[in-house]
Structure formats: C-alpha cells, structure tokens
Amino acid sequence: MAAGGKARRNANGQGGVYRRGDGRWEAKVFVDTPDGRRKRISVYGDSERAALDELGKVLDQQRRGIPTATTTLTVAEYMTYWLEHIAEPSVRRTTYATYEGDVRLHIIPGIGNRKLKSLQASHIRAWLTGLQTRCQCCAQGKDAARGRKSQARCCALVPAKCCNDALSASSIRHILRVLRAALQDAVDEEMLSRNVARLVQLRVTDDRKVRSFTRAEAMRFLKTAETTRLYALWAVALSMGLRRGEALGLQWSDVDLDAERITIRRALHRVDGQLKLENVKTEGSVAVLPVPRTLVPILTNHRRRQLEERLAAGSTWRDTGLVFTTPKGGALEPRNVNRMFHSLCAKAEVPQLRVHDLRHSCATLLFTMGVQPATVQKILRHSSITVTTGTYVEVIEAVQRDALDSMGSLFASNSLGDETG
C-alpha cells in the first residue's frame, strides 16, 4: 500500500488492499461460490503482506476451478455442491444414490442451516444423538404419503401410534462417514481449515439382531413358494445367499447348469427412477459360485417355463437375458419383489422378514450346519472374515454353545452310580 494509508488497486476483479480502522488489513475480491453465484468477499491480515497472501490463496483456488466458501455459505449449500461436483462424477450411481439419500433425508434437515465455516463438532454430535431416537417414519412424513386408510401406520393412525422406527447404529455411522468425506473434500480444496466431523466419535451400539429363518421356517417358506412362478428366485436367494439386486440382475449367460456354477457379475437397482444393471458393489463381490445340486432341476424347470412364456408373449417379449423376469421378459421391479416376499411369508406363516434377510438366513443355516466362517465368508463374498464374524457373532456363539453343551454326554447320570462292581 502506498504511504498515507491509500488503497492499492489490483487487477480487475481483485479489488484493493487497504488498512482498516482497527489496524487490520483487508483485501476484496470477486469469487465464484459453491452455489454458482459470483460474490465479493474480503480477506484479512495483520499486515499488508499477510492480506495479500490470503488474497493470493483465494485467487489460486479460483484459477484451479475450486469455488470459495464464503462466511454465509451453509452446510446445505455446500453439501449440494459436493454431491453434484465431487461425489457424482467419482462414484457408482448406486453409491451416489445412497449419498444423496443421506444428505437429503438426514444431513440437510439436521445441520443444513448452519454456516459451513462455523460448524462445530458439538453441533454434529448433538444432531447424531437425536438421530438415534427420532422415528424416521414420522420425520420423513412417510405415513402422510399413504393415501388409503388401510395402509395407515405409525403417525397416520387415528389415534396416532408411533412405530419408533429410528435409524440403526450402522446407518448413523454411514451418515457420519458421508459427512466426514464431504468435509474432507472441503479441507482439501482449502474451503475449510479442518474437518470437525473427524473429531466426532460415535458411541452407539446396534441392538438390532440379525433376523433369519430357522431351518423349519425356511423349509415351510420354500414349500409355500414351490407353486409360484418365481420359486427359483426364492430358492437361489436363500440357498446361495445372494443379495436382492444380485439375484434380480442374474443373466442366463452367467449360469452354467452343466458345470453347476453361477457367476455373480451385475446387480439390478432402481437408480434415478430407472431400473439399471450395474456391476456388483466391489471387486470382491464378483465371484463364481457352485450351484447346489438340488438347485439345478429347479433352475432347469424355471428356464423351461420362461421359454413357454416367451412363446406366449410373441412380439411383446423383451429380450433382457435375465433369469428372473416378468411374464413378458422385463426386469422385475425390486419393490414388487418385496411385496411378493411379504405375501409369501404371510401365506407360509413365517416371520415377516426382509428379502435381504434370506441372505442372513443362508449364513445362519450354514453356521448351524457346522460350516466354518472362512467358507461362509467366501460364499457371501464379504470383504474380510471380520465382517462375517462381526455380523453373525451371536449365531456363531450359539453354535459354539451348542457344541460345548454336547460335551454334557460325558457326565451321564449313571456314570458314577454304576461303579458298584
């Protein structure tokens, strides 16, 4: 700055540098913000050089195409920017859909109005604590969207009866991971000086137990499903532990009944309002699995029935190559599969589980038959043995307890009393 305190003018768009009445130095500059607006901001320093250095950092960000976080930028505005410009171009569509749901349903409603630069760990901690107890059915207005009275549940009932459908500990951990990732990108782009979400340690335990069919329930369910056109779907999902999307995304080109093996390559999901076949979630999920011999005739009969449906459909048949389809060859809607499953559970008089719980049932039944955790891990294609043992810790402990209880035969009641001769 020139002598006498006059402002030094910089290049167009870079504003000027001058000394304030409080003794600090201020530089002004126009910047692009994450919400797409162009705004004039100020940077400060204890000296003219310090203010120019801060100005240089901002201009360097702008040259690299990184928007500048202003003091008024909210968490909601930043998270919207992060989803569009950082997350969406770099992750799979199904992963992005999960991120978008966490941001839209939980992060923005919870802390979206807070200023990004003033966000504290205590704000995040208080919000996450609330998520542990808040009924999501009520919070998201799910019941208000149910049109017919026969569908009413929770707060839509008269009188209201909350179902207390709070998020699980694993869901809350995932939401925190998404926030940490987003704020770390803000740090990497020098929009924030530190990632306060990393200071938050969750101390929540998930009291939700793995739900699965017993052997008797599984047999009753399959017996009921045997007369349905999608019997093979339920048989494959239960006996091989496939995820719903993996089963629905299975194509005949992935099935070799002569060699008795199936290759898991793709999964079917609804993304952006459309059903899409995408590669399975991780490289470890891609696998060639042996087909249980009892499944071979079931899949053979299913293929024969599908060929008959194809002939009946004629020109209206959709050649998707999928193993499990609608009567005209189209992909199955996952939500319709859920409805069919619940209907079958009611008819079979077994617990109302989720379709994903067929995967848990497969693992549980394998453990109770004495299959080793490492083998179960390979069948379910978990990323590590700790995922398998951690998910099914109670099942494994129950199997171990039964095994040790069998040692009770050593202490037969007549073992001591008979030693009289």
| Residue where the block lists tokens 């999307």 | 245
- DSSP codes joined into one string, 88-120: HHHS-HHHHHHHHHHIIIIIHHHHTTSBGGG--
Query: In order of start, what are the domains of the chain with their CATH numbers?
Result: 9-63 (no CATH), 75-199 (1.10.150.130), 215-404 (1.10.443.10)
Helices (DSSP H) in 66-214: which residue ranges?
Answer: 75-82, 88-90, 93-102, 108-111, 121-133, 136-139, 169-188
Measured between alpha carbons, how far is 124 from 175 in angstroms, rounded to an integer? Answer: 11
Cα–Cα distances in angstroms (integers) from residue 284 to residues 102, 243, 254, in the given order: 25, 14, 17
Sheet holding 25-32, edge to edge: 8-9, 16-19, 25-32, 38-45
Hey, CA dihedral for 389, 394, 396, 400, is it positive or negative?
positive
User: Could you give the 3-state DSSP secondary structure of residue 237?
Assistant: helix
* Cis bond upstream, residue 159 (ω within 30): yes
In tens digits, what is the pLDDT along the chain, a chain of 421 residues?
444 455 554 544 445 787 888 888 888 777 776 666 777 777 788 888 888 888 887 777 777 766 666 667 789 989 998 998 899 998 888 888 899 999 999 999 999 999 998 999 999 999 999 888 888 777 777 666 555 555 666 666 667 677 677 788 888 999 999 999 999 999 988 788 899 999 998 876 655 578 899 999 999 999 999 999 999 999 999 999 999 999 999 999 999 999 999 999 999 988 777 888 888 766 556 789 999 999 999 999 999 999 999 999 999 999 999 999 999 999 999 999 999 999 999 999 999 999 999 999 999 999 999 899 999 999 998 888 888 888 888 888 887 787 777 777 777 655 545 544 4
Q: How many CA atoms lie within 13 A of 306 on its CB side?
A: 23
pLDDT score at 120: 94
Helices (DSSP H) in 288-411: which residue ranges?
Answer: 295-313, 334-348, 357-368, 373-380, 385-391, 393-405
Q: Report the candidate in 215, 74, 5 with the shortest Cα–Cα distance to residue 26.
A: 5
pTM across the whole model: 0.67
